[in-house]
């Protein structure tokens, strides 16, 4: 018999098997503990509402509990969970049509670090850097919501969650080619939005200061 | 090569999706070389490509961020309660 600590250390394949074969609820609890925050952040990036993101986590893991017996391990457990979460997001967005209004603003960027602020680097070195990096991350999270959902979802899956093109395509029930096309379009749209909001406002500010 | 001439800015504006394909190594060799030559000639596009890469790098770094928003304790308990895990 395994103890709770040992169950928590098991890899996904073993956890899935223990749940499927033995109905070991501790194995499911370990899966839930491991991925619940990642699914929450995915839901939050897609919906922009903490309550919706919590509903998505709940729907995802309740579905996973029912259907884990059918999981064959062809994709990673995380991408399988994100596939369920993607469906939950799409359903949720059909019910809630309003979009977050708090788009990236020049003033917000100013608060982060001034007109010439650089993009945050992944590794902030000092506490002050960490604050700037944290604020910039928040602004970049907001920027995600300026592009349409069917583009954003591919970008979040591929670039943030790190799933493969094939897994993203499976999650969204589209061809791998379509997933790639959407990703390239999504990145281009996001970059244009970034330029519009950031560069455009810097230029506008420079023009008015002349 | 004409469509990449740096004196035709309307074409440069259309290159963002190609930047993305290049980063993912999805361009064929001829197209990749053509883009590289353009980037050598067009400073505006070279800068844009650098910013494009940086933006993606920032989003990719979110993956490693364990300090982002987290599920509330109430929701955590509710899910475990609904699934009779507690």
Cα A195 to Cα A127, A171, A192, B19, B21: the distances in Å are 28, 30, 5, 15, 20
Question: What is the band of B63 on the pLDDT scale with cuts at 50, 70, 90?
Answer: confident
Question: Which residues in chain A are closer than 8 Å to B19, comparing Cβ atoms?
Answer: 187-188
pLDDT at A154 over 90: yes
Q: What is the pLDDT of residue A32?
A: 95
CA dihedral B12, B18, B19, B25 (to 10 degrees): -150
pLDDT at B11 over 50: yes
Interface contact A166, partner B, CB < 8 A: no
Q: With a threshold of 0.85, tell me whether the complex ipTM lies above it.
A: no
Question: Which residues in chain B are closer than 8 Å to A162, comparing Cβ atoms?
Answer: 60, 63
State the Cα–Cα distance between residues A196 and A178, nearest whole angstrom. Answer: 27
B20 and A58 within 8 Å at the Cβ level: the answer is no
A40 and B70 within 8 Å at the Cβ level: the answer is yes
Structural contact between residues A152 and A186, judged by C-beta atoms closer than 8 angstroms: yes
pLDDT in tens, A106-140: 444 444 433 333 444 444 456 666 666 777 778 88
Question: What is the band of A203 on the pLDDT scale with cuts at 50, 70, 90?
Answer: low
Q: Output the average pLDDT for chain A.
A: 80
Residue of B nearest to A161 (CA): B63
Interface contact A78, partner B, CB < 8 A: no
A187 and B71 within 8 Å at the Cβ level: the answer is no
Interface contact A184, partner B, CB < 8 A: yes
Q: pTM (2 decimals)?
A: 0.75
Task: Map out the domains of chain A with their CATH numbers.
Answer: 4-95 (1.10.1740.10), 107-209 (1.10.10.10)
């Amino acid at each position: 018999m395994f103890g709770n600590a040992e169950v928590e250390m098991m890899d996904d394949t073993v956890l899935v098997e223990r749940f499927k074969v033995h109905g070991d609820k501790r194995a499911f609890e370990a899966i839930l503990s491991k991925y619940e925050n990642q699914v929450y952040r995915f839901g939050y990036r897609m919906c922009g509402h903490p309550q919706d993101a919590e509903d998505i986590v709940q729907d995802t893991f309740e579905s996973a509990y029912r259907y884990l017996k059918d999981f064959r391990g062809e994709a990673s457990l995380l991408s399988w969970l994100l596939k369920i979460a993607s469906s939950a997001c799409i359903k949720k967005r059909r019910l809630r049509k309003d979009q977050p209004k708090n788009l990236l603003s020049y003033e917000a960027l100013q608060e982060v670090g001034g007109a010439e602020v650089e993009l945050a680097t992944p590794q902030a070195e000092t506490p002050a850097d960490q604050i700037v990096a944290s604020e910039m991350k928040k602004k970049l999270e907001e920027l995600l919501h300026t592009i349409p959902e069917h583009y954003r979802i591919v970008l979040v899956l591929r670039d943030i969650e790190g799933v493969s093109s094939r897994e993203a395509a499976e999650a969204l029930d589209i061809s791998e080619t379509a997933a790639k096309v959407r990703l390239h379009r999504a990145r281009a749209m996001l970059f244009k939005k970034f330029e519009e909001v950031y560069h455009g406002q810097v230029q506008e500010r420079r023009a008015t200061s002349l | 090569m004409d469509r990449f001439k740096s004196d035709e800015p309307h074409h440069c504006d259309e290159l963002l999706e190609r930047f993305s394909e290049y980063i993912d190594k999805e361009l064929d060799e001829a197209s990749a070389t053509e883009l590289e030559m353009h980037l050598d000639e067009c400073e505006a596009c070279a800068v844009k490509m650098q910013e494009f890469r940086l933006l993606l790098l920032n989003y990719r770094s979110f993956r490693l961020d364990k300090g982002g928003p987290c599920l509330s304790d109430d929701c955590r308990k509710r899910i475990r309660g609904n699934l009779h895990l507690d």
